[in-house]
Amino acid sequence: MDERVMLSWVDDVLRPYVDDAPDDVIPLLILDSYQCHMMALVVKQIEELGVEVRHIPGGCTSLCQPVDVGFNKPFKDRVRRQWLAWRISEDAGSTSAPTRRDVIGWIERAMADMKDNATII
């Protein structure tokens, strides 16, 4: 993710959403403190759409984005481990992409592992 990709996201994803929003709604976009989310040009382009921008202070993700911490991170870690094992098993010189079936299998196994290892708080 960099400034170019973020600006593209604003145009391709955020703009259509804002265009379809009711006139009496002021959209609010809450971003973390990732470098490209803080860039003046990015914030300006978002605000020019009529969107209010707020940033989550650094170190507060666990308080403001509990799903990222409690689900997304463990899920991505499980998928990443399977991807890494797949890369290691592939020919070292190969640059082939995994098949959709490979990726679906990683997702299914990650979800099953999360379900099997769920804890009740």
Rg of the chain in Å (alpha carbons): 19
Other C-beta atoms closer than 10 Å to the C-beta of 31 total: 16
DSSP letter assigned to residue 56:
P
- Indicate whether 85 pLDDT > 80: yes
The model's pLDDT over 33-47, given as tens digits with 9 standing for 90+, comes to 889 999 999 999 999
Distance of alpha carbon 4 from alpha carbon 6, whole angstroms: 5
- Indicate whether 121 pLDDT > 60: no
Q: For the chain, report the end-to-end CA distance as a whole number of angstroms.
A: 34
The mean predicted confidence, pLDDT, of the chain is 89
- pTM of full prediction above 0.85: no
- Note the helical H segments in 27-68: 35-38, 40-48, 61-64, 66-67
DSSP letter assigned to residue 2:
-
pLDDT of residue 89: 85
- Indicate whether 59 pLDDT > 90: no
Q: What is the mean pLDDT of residues 91-106?
A: 85
